[in-house]
A and B are shown apart, each in its own frame.
Chain A
Amino acid sequence: MARLEYIPEPTATSIREIDCPDLGDPPFVTGPALKDRRIAMISTAGLFTRGDRPFVGGDADYRAIPADVGENDLLVGHVSVNFDRTGYQRDRNVMFPIDRLRELAAGGIIGSVADTHFSFMGATNPIEMEAHVAPVIAQLNADRVDSVVLLPV
């Protein structure tokens, strides 16, 4: 449904007109074979763990999510009401596919799953987010992560 023609107005126009920064040619790094990669997820659903500080409008920072976060302890804090939450309410893997990633690791398809994952809140100016990426990179490096799956909503 996320083809723009299926998104109802006025949301479709708002999405179409979002200012996207010109970041130039994409950087591109190679890495090990998939079976040897250590993978983290970064969501922009404004996910946060129960008891952590929820996101409010304009927050460009992030929340860390331990890989073993309980099913009852991961919440959606994104300020936008223009995306579906009912799928997540039935199955968190719709936004945060931790169970699928674990299954791939158990099957030897990927090397391993990171100990910590992260969430920003979309609908935030990406230029403002950039200032908060450095500590995420430091934690990914400390966790020996070489690959990230980005999961917007």
Chain B
Amino acid sequence: MSALGHYIEREGIATTIVALVREHCERIRPPRALFVPFELGRPMGSPNDPALQHRVLAAALALFDAAKPLIVDFEEGDPDRQGIDGWTPPIDLPAVADGLSDADLAAALRAETDVIWPRYLATVENQGRTAVGIGPVAPNEIVAFLCRSLVDGVPSESADDFRPQYLLRFACDDLKAVYSETILSDPPYPNSRQVADWFWTKTAAGLILRRLRRVCLDHPGRGYQFVGRMFIMPAYLARRLEA
């Protein structure tokens, strides 16, 4: 990203970057950088904290007054780092037994989404937005698509303009978003690690994605292997849960 600062400024347009990784900035040396201490994925800090977001933006924009290239540290910390002690998700889901067959795990996901889906739809209606829908599989087809992929095999071809492994990748991302949007509809808000821990260890959805990740890793095609290695499960959780 810092490289874009070089490319754009070379063409006569001034740039300032809100940088999340100071080490990259120090190596690439963009024209102006504000280093912020927030989590990856949150360059502007906390959601629904416009005062903090204004302070971040103001600090980044103030660098346009500088007389020479510089990297500056944002002086505040990350308010979301600690999470909420004792957080539990605001929804009761059917318990998922260990060691289920693929068919039974698929059935468990269908039972679970019978609970999640109405809550998700209510959240979308209340908030007027959703981040679900990145791929060509329609949101209300995602569960059936993933169950089919586990029980009958991952798709070997795609009618859309994507390689089949990307259909799976998009559907996995969308399923995760259905769950996180549902449980983040009301306060108190856990931090992202708490959401991830819950999703990947306590839900049938997380378990089915973990199993699909394994299917991808064992697939003869390099495309699926790559998706399994990189694009389904956060690396820190794969190391902790799947080693």
Contact = CB atoms under 8 A, between A and B. Distances in A.
B220 interface: no
Interface in A57-109: 57, 70-72, 75-77, 79-95, 97, 99-101, 103-104, 109
B233 interface: yes
Classify chain A: how many residues form its interface, as a range: 35 or more
B17 interface: yes
Interface residues of B, number: 88
A93 B44 contact: yes
B30 interface: yes
Given A15-B21, A95-B42, A8 B236 contact: yes
B4 A126 contact: yes
A5 to B, nearest CB: 11
Interface stretch (B54-62, B99-107, B111-119, B142-150): B54-62
Contact of B81 (A6, A18, A82, A95): A6
B16 A150 contact: yes
Contacts of B232: 81
B96 interface: no
B9 A26 contact: yes
A130 B42 CA distance: 25
B78 interface: yes
Contact of B1 (A11, A100, A136, A150): A150
Contact of A23 (B17, B29, B60): B29
Given A71-B128, A93-B53, A152-B43, A87 B18 contact: no
A11 B235 contact: yes
Given A26-B6, A89-B181, A94-B45, A1 B162 contact: no
Contacts of B4: 42, 44, 120, 126, 129, 133, 150
Contact of A1 (B14, B78, B231, B234): B78
Interface in A1-30: 1-4, 6-11, 14-16, 18, 20-23, 25-30
A50 to B, nearest CB: 6
B87 interface: no
A56 B234 contact: no
A21 B41 contact: no
B121 interface: no
Interface string B202-243: 000000000000000000000000100011111110010000
A149 interface: yes
B41 A153 contact: yes
B115 to A, nearest CB: 19
Contact of B14 (A25, A89, A120, A148): A148
Interface of B: 1-24, 27-31, 36-48, 50, 53-54, 57-58, 60-62, 64-65, 68-69, 78, 80-81, 128-131, 133-135, 161-163, 166, 169-170, 173, 176-177, 180-181, 184, 189, 192, 195, 226, 230-236, 239
Interface of A: 1-4, 6-11, 14-16, 18, 20-23, 25-31, 34, 37, 39, 42, 44-45, 50, 53-54, 56-57, 70-72, 75-77, 79-95, 97, 99-101, 103-104, 109-110, 120, 122, 126-127, 129-130, 133, 136-137, 140-141, 145-153
25 contacts: A2-B21, A2-B38, A4-B23, A10-B236, A16-B23, A18-B24, A23-B3, A26-B6, A72-B130, A75-B134, A79-B230, A81-B232, A81-B234, A82-B234, A89-B131, A90-B47, A91-B48, A94-B42, A94-B43, A136-B8, A141-B13, A147-B13, A147-B15, A148-B15, A152-B17
